[in-house]
Structure 1
Amino acid sequence: MEKGALSITLASDAKLQSLKQLKGIIFDLDNTLVSSSLNFPKIRATLGCPDGEDVLDFISKMSGKERQQATQILVDFEMADASNSTALDGCHQLIDLIKKLGLRCAIVTRNCQQAARLKIKNNDIAIADLITREQFSAKPSPEALLYLAHKWKTPTQNIMYVGDFLYDIQAAKNAQMISCLLTFERQLSYSKQADIAINNLPALYACLKRAKL
């Protein structure tokens, strides 16, 4: 049995079968391909953002200099996080397999451009297509995912979006793509909303290899 092969926590047979028709995979970045230790309670406290409110939504309601200052504070937190980020177990092997299979691949993240590029560079993430919050509305908006489907000339049902949070599931569903949630053995209340909930990247590697080879 390959490493991770028994780590699928939730997936219908139909959804697992749908992996055979995959033409592209889009990844979230933080805690999906690379580690992240962003201290959101501290970010909220610094910005004055209420608990339960999305930080990006909170900043978007500001105007002028206040918004610029809040954005810079968030970017500073993100850049500090990027400098300490490491590739997650199985990341490079999975990307190599995706290339071997001839699948399209991209990253869509809520990160700022500078932090995302630093994480990709420092961790040798060999994925050229990167979309950050500066280019399209942030997840759970499907805008970035739909843009990539159009760019790739690929039906959305033949693309999978992989992430670690509820927004990732929602973005995939809003784009009518296959949603894959990485649980990392966490008990998540929204796991059942994902088409496929899987423990980690090695498990996804094993699942994808069985489906496509």
Structure 2
Amino acid sequence: MTTRNCATKVILASASPRRHHLLEEMLNWPIKVMPVSIEERLLPKEVPTESAKRLALLKASAIAISFPECLVIGADTLVVVDETVLGKPHDRHEALQMLKKLNGRKHLVVTGVAICRGDEIASDVEVTEVEFRNTSEEALARYAELGEGDDKAGAYAIQGKGALLVCSIKGCYYNVVGMPLYLLSVLLEQFDIPLTCQWRCEKDEVAL
């Protein structure tokens, strides 16, 4: 294992504060955040797993072309209920409608993760099943008005007040937050970055 691989600079192609927190504060990775604007449009007959993976790769590759020596991480999360894909709500009314669809039911959280470094690419998808408690429309409206789910697929945040809406999950918790850490770790190994290098400590300095 080379020192270069353990000290690779990392760019997050996302404006998500949740993803930034998971990588920088939890894992102690020095991250440069570079949000990228792409058309997050679903293609006809494209299944959600394919959509999430494609969109994640579009985000990562858009930044990687200008920073070939860096690891660029892209991610995209979709919520799926009854084969209907829920993205981010446009307003509080739409947020409430999404929450009503999820109320008392199971849904899938699908996150595509892509890593690019130069011409190297690794990508995959994580799927987690989440079950909502059955509650009143008044309670759902109250949560929607809090604004916590304004910028989140499915209009809720499991790591915040939205945790009270969730009665169970099956699969990766961090996937529901927005970045499946185990999957990310496995993808990093494809770049010759072993688990021992993924745990960084204060003395591991990487200039970005």
TM-score tier after normalising by the smaller chain length = under 0.3
Q: Highest relative contact order (Cα 8 Å, sep 6+), 1 or 2?
A: 1
State TM-score, norm by structure 1. 0.26
Query: Structure 1 or 2: larger strand share?
Result: 2
